[in-house]
Structure 1
């Protein structure tokens, strides 16, 4: 594994990526990746499939998921690693969170159907899209109905109706961490530089430390859009608090621009505790 790189934040077509778990493994193998995790949004299917097939590749894989949380009125993503994918309470928790994620889009449809004759809630609920295109159901529905031509225009619809993730009761960071820990896993704050916006570096660090105080075990320090200042701040916090250090491309296949392993972070540069041995 020496000299191999890690990518612990990848999405398959089970959530909003375009690749199957095996396609991800093949791509990762071609990129010289030695440690990999699929972290789909609020769903475990991609990680389960990965863990069941990775042994025929020269890649170490760990279980993973990316969980939506709302805390202090802001949307956060918490990565769960090394979780027991058969833990009944955790599986049910993920099923409920996945329902909440879809409920966000359903509530937007309920608002919009009064203004657009071409959409109705019943039509949306029966709509089926090609998962290999990435994204999510409502995105493709709006584009197919001619209400948007791109991802940007879809987001404009959400803005037009002042619609956010706060419209449903997502769990707090503390509760998410509790479920991850109870399932034998570790909780990592995903891409804080992307999530925590519009603050100076001191305020940024204070907010990151707040998440640590309520249960986060580590930080995704290495992330494509993180500036050097953000990365250094995250690494400093991890060193001071003895936290885990992870990296991830947040690759969604052809749906977005990031590529598997694009930062080329060596496994030795991370601090993974006992996650690596699971």
Structure 2
């Protein structure tokens, strides 16, 4: 395992076929290592079943590994994602919390399919399921891949704009975990909670301040500053937010697929030297 330092090429946010990614955990590990990643985390949505494969592959490649997860949370009427890093994926409290969070995905997916059928797109549930295999983990991304595959849209971005965002024909809300519960599950399993890609949420300044304040009050310790969906200006802004709230800074591509993701594994800019990297605080959890 490489020695950790502030400029370590850490990529602490990506997804495999165990949630809504298109590559297996071993394939992701190989891709990360080829791109110079030194410390890597697999953070599938509401699922830790791929961690064992990911750890084994990372260790075989000489890459440091952090067990991770990305938990979907409802906050101020929106879905917010909280990444857990350095978790114990065998912790029964974490496993049960994730099981509860996944519950309802199939019902939501069937409602989404019915909404799409009403606007002339039949067979969406079965089409989306081909891309995931497990109804408990079916998501909007799987519907998006079906709509591209079936010729209704040219790419995943178009699907979300036309069909899957709030107010569009295929959007169906889902009640996710509470913020405090998600952070508690992460902490009880020995991990550290991080707000994922904060610029993606459509919060007012007051709502965003409330998110960061509640997150910190519940024991959250980090925020993604450098991530695939952040512009340079947003990276600067959330660097300032990290310092304002005394949070550790994380870095992760949020990689899902070679053909869909905005940013390649391991290709993000470095964190600012004025920030405290989250991986340094998790040195004893890197495997």
Short-chain TM bin: 0.7 to 0.9
Paired residue total? 270
Paired with 1:267 and 1:37, the residues of 2 have a C-alpha distance of 20
Tell me the residue number matched to 1:163. Answer: 171
Does residue 275 of structure 1 match 2:278? no
Structure with bigger RCO (C-alpha 8 Å, 6+ apart): 1
Verify the 8 A CA contact 1:43 1:94 in the aligned structure 2. yes
Verify the 8 A CA contact 2:119 2:169 in the aligned structure 1. no
TM-score normalised by the chain length of structure 2: 0.80
Would the alpha carbon gap of residues 206 and 174 (structure 1) be closer, same or farther in structure 2, given more than 3 Å must change?
closer
Would the alpha carbon gap of residues 178 and 143 (structure 1) be closer, same or farther in structure 2, given more than 3 Å must change?
same
**Of 57, 63, 66, the match for 1:59:** 63
- The CA deviation at 1:203 is 6.6
- The CA deviation at 1:124 is 6.0
Paired with 1:105 and 1:13, the residues of 2 have a C-alpha distance of 18
1:181-219 alpha-carbon deviations (Å, 9 max, x no partner)? 12221110001112245x45x774554334323442211
Unpaired segments of 5 or more residues in structure 1? none
Would the alpha carbon gap of residues 144 and 55 (structure 1) be closer, same or farther in structure 2, given more than 3 Å must change?
closer
TM-score normalised by the chain length of structure 1: 0.82
Equivalent runs, 1:127-206 vs 2, <5 Å: 127-129=129-131, 136-143=141-148, 147-155=152-160, 156-158=162-164, 159-161=167-169, 163-164=171-172, 167-197=173-203, 199=204, 204-205=208-209
- The CA deviation at 1:259 is 0.2
More divergent stretch after superposition (145-154 vs 184-193):
145-154
Paired with 2:124 and 2:40, the residues of 1 have a C-alpha distance of 40
Paired with 2:232 and 2:73, the residues of 1 have a C-alpha distance of 26
Unpaired segments of 5 or more residues in structure 2? 134-138
How big is the alpha-carbon RMSD for the aligned residues of Structure 1 and Structure 2? 3.1
Paired with 1:177 and 1:213, the residues of 2 have a C-alpha distance of 10
Tell me the residue number matched to 1:74. Answer: 78
Would the alpha carbon gap of residues 230 and 267 (structure 1) be closer, same or farther in structure 2, given more than 3 Å must change?
closer
Tell me the residue number matched to 1:243. Answer: 247
- The CA deviation at 1:29 is 1.6
Verify the 8 A CA contact 1:139 1:154 in the aligned structure 2. yes
Paired with 1:129 and 1:162, the residues of 2 have a C-alpha distance of 17
- The CA deviation at 1:49 is 1.6
